[in-house]
Each structure stands twice: as structure tokens, then as C-alpha cells.
Structure 1
């Protein structure tokens, strides 16, 4: 609680504007640290989110996500996610600034650091969840486009349980959007095959004692996603399919 209070008061003493200004510093270490501060201050704090947006931090951070200095890129993406989370104005600025293209670029880059993949997939899940929870009218082609979803689904080939779990949450949220119905008709960008491969991967993890419990939990999520997919397929096609 004390951290939240101190960070919320940062703007009152002029500190937040200084931090945002340093996002343009020539030293990547300073930029990285300032991005982390902005993200930490903005997390679950609508007041600070507005202050940061008013100071013009979002476009700077979105540029920093493209940095070749990986730690800077990771902290910048963390800050972007924190600023726009459940924030209508932040989301509008994010989309108008090409945020969807930014995410697609990261997800399509097979050599990107796995931490960037995790944060990007979590952001996709958050964006879709916002659509679901707030019945937002800002439902863009972003969520009905295989250009985005195919790279997300392709990440299921990686042997990273944390990433697999985040991918499943993202797919689950997108599946529940009305705009994804036509993707279901076309096989949802190869989802069925990806889930089958994932189930086989998870069986291998379950055999390993140090991964067993986590893998079992993810297997349950995998089944849940598959059932949601089948229910939506049934709704669209009128088919009765069993897991």
C-alpha cells in the first residue's frame, strides 16, 4: 500500500513529468528504469494512468518496445500494458498509434525474447478481456484476424509452461468475442491441431515431477479452451461434437 501511495504522489511533486521526460534519455539503462517506474505507478491506478497519458508517455514507450536493448523493450512493454489496462482513452491512443501492429510484430518474430512473447500474449488476453467485460464498441478487426492469432497459436510449439498458459488464456478470451465467429468457421487459425500438439506436450511435462502439478492445471485450461471452441463451432454450424 505504501508503494502505491508514494507512486501516486509522484506527480504532485513534479516527479512523474521528470520520469516521463527521461524516457528520451540517451542512456538505455535510464530509459529502462524510467519505463519500469511509469509502469509500476500506472498499474491498477486510473489517476496515474491519466497523468501519464496527458504527459505523452505512451507513444514514447511504444517506440521503446522496438529497442534492440532487450531489457528496455521488456520494461517498456510492461509500462504500455499497465497504462492502457481497462483505460478507454489509453486503448484508443494505443490502437491509433499502431499498437496492434506492434504486438503482431513481436508475436511474429520467432527470435524475440520469450519474455516479450509472454508480455505480448498477456496483453492480447487483457485487450480481449476488456472487450468482454465492458462490452466495448472498440471491437476492431484486430481480434478477428489470423495475422494476429496465428502467431499466438504458433507459440504453442514452445516448451515453456508459463507461455503456454498465457497463450491459452489469450485464445480463451478471443474465442469468447463475437467477432471471432468467422474465424471459428475457418478453423480458428489451426487451433484444433495446436491444442492436440499442446496436449501431447503437457503429457510429457506431467511425467516430470517438478512440472507435474502446473502441467495438470494447464491441461485443464487446454480442455476448457477446446470445449469453448466446440461450443462456438456448434453454435455456428449446429454440429454436435464431443471432446
Structure 2
């Protein structure tokens, strides 16, 4: 460092000059050390929180980027906080009390320009954002090996997307629609060389598809519906049973198919199956198909009554081993009666008017009363299952007005109602103790009381 000539002007002795020079050297060394330590603190930060701690140590009012001192061949004042590149001549101006620095002698700076960015580690300002990005890149480089290992592991465990796309394209070539599958099944069923077992298997497969509305309608378009209706005339009970099963599944809640099946003569064929001697399993499926045809189809109900359908069903109660059909029959008749009753609550006036005109053509309740069903239904209260009792009680409730005379004369009915009331009330107490909320037995008690009140 060069001593300042102004020292002699104050008349200071040699010891003072030496002391000032030592102080200047110590100040320069400490300034250089602080600058280097400041840089190292940022570079050695291991995470983002340490970087933020360094930035927060700056003057909270000075939010500008760190200022860099750009030296020339002339002495310049070094402002507090400026980053000073290493290798410069520095001095303390005793007149102003400020640090000054310049380029060493012999350094070429003919253009008096700022150093190029690559000439100094402080060649450009560093913002908070840039320090964070630099730290993130440092971390990325630190974890590069582990990331590469993860990539290799993914490549090992998963197949390339192009290979998967190729296989998907190949699979798409073999995909068949439900329509295609049903066509093959119907052809298999209609094949003249197919055995009864093969036809039964075809019907079993077909029943799976016709639950869907569109598939059931496609069954008619393919001609399969009429083929299956015709097979109800078969002499093979297994073929009749599975044919009725397919018909029942196809007709359920599907008005278009109901109409097509009715036009195809399915009502007459089902009544013929139910009226002839057949295994109970066959009649069960035929009754299922009949129920699917009659529900929400008043014209079919009208024809059912005209063709003696009630008498056919009544015969079940005289035959042997037909007990599994009793509740099914009562449920079908109850639904037919309730359809007409619920029509009065229809919100769509136009639709209700049209339906009402159709239901006015039939009177299931009157037909049941005339054909002697009142006694048959009341006797069913002796069935042991509560589910069966519930359905019978509901049927008795809607028939009380038309069957009142028969019910009043039937003392066994009153005794059964009293027994059921006592039994159900015990179950109600158990429900309350167990805190069950469905109130199933309380509802049954309500039905029994309702019927008893109507018969007073």
C-alpha cells in the first residue's frame, strides 16, 4: 500500500505514521476477509432457509441488489457494503476518513471500462431470486446420481408407452360389441344341429345381456325374441324354463319390448305353460316372465283377465308343491291393483289422463272378489315368514272394502290378526331396546291395526 503524503502536514512523528499504516493494513485485511466470508456463507448454504437468513442480515431498508466496486487506475471511494475484487491497491484517506482503491500499477485499463463478467467473481449483482436459483441448482447437482438411479428403476419396472400403444391397437382389432356377441349366441341357439344342452347354454349366456334396455331391443331386431317365444312350446322343460327366464329379463321395465313380445303371442304361451303340468322351477320362471309383461302394461292386464289368467293362477293353490309360488302370485296381483291407485297421484295430467283411460278398462279388485280370492288370501296369513306375512297384510288392506263381508265371517282371520299383533309388538319392544331405526315390525303392527279397524 502507498502511504498518504498528507501525514507530514499534521506534524506527526514517525511512531504515529507507523501506527496509522498498521491500522490501514489491518482494516484492508478485515474488509477483504468479510467480503470473502460473505460470499462463502451464500455458497455453502445447504438449504433455502439458510440463504434467506443471509439475505435477512442485510439492511432491511436496502432492498437493492448487492453493489460491486468497479476499479480504475485512479483512486476511488469504496462505499460501505460494496464488494471489492481482490488484488487492488487500497488506502485510508485520512482527510475524508473513507477507504479508496484503484487498479495496481501496470494494469491495462485503457478503455476505463468495467471489468468483463468473467474477470471477477463479483462481476454482477446477485438478487434473492438468483441466490435461491443457484442454491436449487446446487441441490439438483447434489441429487443427480439418485435421480438417475430412479429413472433406471422406472425403466426397468415399466414398459415403454409405444409398446403399450401397439398392443392396444392390436387388442382393438379383436373387440366385439354386445350386438356382435348376441348375434353369435342367437345363431348358436337357432342352429338345427345344436343339442338341447347347447341351446340351454346359449339362453343362459343371452340372459346376461338382455338386462340392458338396448340389448333387449336388439334381441327383437335380430329376431331372437320371437325365436325364444316360440321355444316356449318345446317339450323340454329345461328349454322352456330358460326361455321364460330370458323373456322375463328382456321385458322388465322395457315398454318397447313388452309391446313386441305381446304382439308375438307371449301372453298366451306363458298362460299355457302355467296351466299345464310342469315342474315348479319352470312355472316359477314363467310366472317371472308373466309379471314382467303385465307390470305397467294395462292393455296386457286387460287381455290377461279376458284369457282367464286369474283362474290359471288360482289353480296354484290347489296343486301340490306350489307353495313357493304363492307369495309371487299375491305380489303380482297387489302391484296390478296399486298401479291404478297410484295413478291418481300422477303429477303429469296429460299422462295420467291417458293412463287412466286404459286402466278404466280393467278392474283387478272386482275380478279377484268375484273369483273367490278373498278366502285364499286371508288363509295365507298363516305362512311362517314375516316377509310373506307383510305382503299378505298389504293385499288384505287394499281388499278390505271389496272383501269385507267374507272377512267379517272369517273368524280365523280375526284370530290370526290378534296373534300377529301380539307377536309383532314383542318384536317392536326388542327393536326399541336395540335402538333399531328401520321400524319394520312397527309398520307390521300398523297394518294389522289398520285391517282390524276397517273390519269393525
TM-score (norm 2): 0.44
Is the counterpart of residue 220 in structure 1 residue 443 in structure 2? yes
Q: Secondary structure at the match of 2:384?
A: coil
Residue from 368, 388, 408 that aligns with 1:163: 388
Q: CA RMSD in A?
A: 3.1
Is the counterpart of residue 27 in structure 1 residue 236 in structure 2? yes
Task: Tell me, yes or no, if the aligned pair for 1:29 and 1:72 is still in contact at 8 Å.
Answer: yes
Is the counterpart of residue 105 in structure 1 residue 311 in structure 2? no
Is the counterpart of residue 184 in structure 1 residue 404 in structure 2? yes
Number of aligned positions between the proteins: 225
Structure 2 CA distance for aligned equivalents of residues 68 and 82 of structure 1: 20
Taking the TM superposition and a 5 Å limit, the aligned residue runs for 1:190-201 are 190=410, 191-200=413-422
Structure 1 CA distance for aligned equivalents of residues 300 and 409 of structure 2: 29
Counterpart position of 1:75: 285
Structure 1 CA distance for aligned equivalents of residues 211 and 370 of structure 2: 43
Residue from 261, 275, 290 that aligns with 1:52: 261
| 95-104 or 10-19, larger mean C-alpha shift | 95-104
Taking the TM superposition and a 5 Å limit, the aligned residue runs for 1:55-66 are 55-66=264-275
Counterpart position of 1:142: 367
Instruction: Indicate the structure with greater helix content.
Output: 1
Q: Secondary structure at the match of 1:220?
A: helix
Q: 1:186 to 1:65 in 2, by over 3 A?
A: closer
Query: Any gaps of 5 or more consecutive residues in structure 1?
Result: 234-240
TM-score (norm 1): 0.79
Taking the TM superposition and a 5 Å limit, the aligned residue runs for 1:89-100 are 89-100=299-310
Deviations 1:101-146 (CA, angstroms, capped at 9, x unpaired): 122222x337443321121110121121123123632225323347
Q: 1:89 to 1:54 in 2, by over 3 A?
A: same
Q: 1:164 to 1:17 in 2, by over 3 A?
A: same
Is the counterpart of residue 115 in structure 1 residue 340 in structure 2? no
Deviations 1:164-210 (CA, angstroms, capped at 9, x unpaired): 122122223334xxxx34x325535634333223335546878999x
Q: Secondary structure at the match of 2:212?
A: helix
Structure 1 CA distance for aligned equivalents of residues 272 and 244 of structure 2: 12
